[in-house]
Amino acid sequence: GLIILMTVLIIALTGNKGNDKSSSSFSGSNGANYQDYLEVPQTPTAPTGAYEIVDHQSLDDLKSSVAIYKHKKSGMEIVTMIPSDPYHDATFGINFRTPTEQDDGVQYVVGKSILAGSVNYPVKDPFNQLKRGSLQTYSDSWTERDRTSFVMSSRNLADFRNNLMVTIDAIFNPLFVDGKYKWIYRQEGWRLESPDNVHLLING
């Protein structure tokens, strides 16, 4: 953006001086013409043979290409959205159906326990550790009535991949499922209540 701004200022100050080039000649730092940002990207093929493409669509209003892939072995569906502007935040989100049969907060406790360390990142709170030195623009998780979601994003591709590895490991290799770390679940699964605003009771 700074390069484009400087180009505009130079042309304005020099009055084009006989060089009558149209605005279509402007290009970004990556060599892309501004028209490239107005064209919908091509739909990519399946990343590996383990996936098959289910559907794809071009969204002209958003200048983006959307595709749905299916993991052949597990049946997991993956939705990708590729914008024409390469400077958009790279965003990853994973959602699990977590319907509840009773109002005991188990889904919320599990979601919090997942964020308390994983096999490859065995620290107390890897996500807060990341925030101290990461370039991420967003990171959060939440539990709703019927699903649990984990989302993160970054504008730096290397940083995005690093955050992605930590997130994936936390979700699929959490420490709390190991008997040695059962204290993690117990730690997240209780709370203090005061029914009479005088006495504290442990509930969980």
Q: What is the pLDDT of residues 105-158, one digit of tens each?
A: 888 888 888 888 899 998 888 888 888 888 888 888 999 888 999 999 998 889
Residue-level pLDDT at 25 = 45
DSSP state of 177: G
Q: Considering the entire predicted model, what is its pTM?
A: 0.69
Q: Give percent of the chain with pLDDT exceeding 70.
A: 78
Report the chain's C-alpha Rg in angstroms.
24
For residue 3, give the H/E element and its range: helix 2-14
E strand spans, 48-178: 51-59, 64-71, 77-83, 90-97, 136-143, 147-154
E strand spans, 98-172: 136-143, 147-154
pLDDT digits (tens, 9 = 90+) for 29-70: 455 565 655 677 677 667 778 888 888 888 888 788 888 999
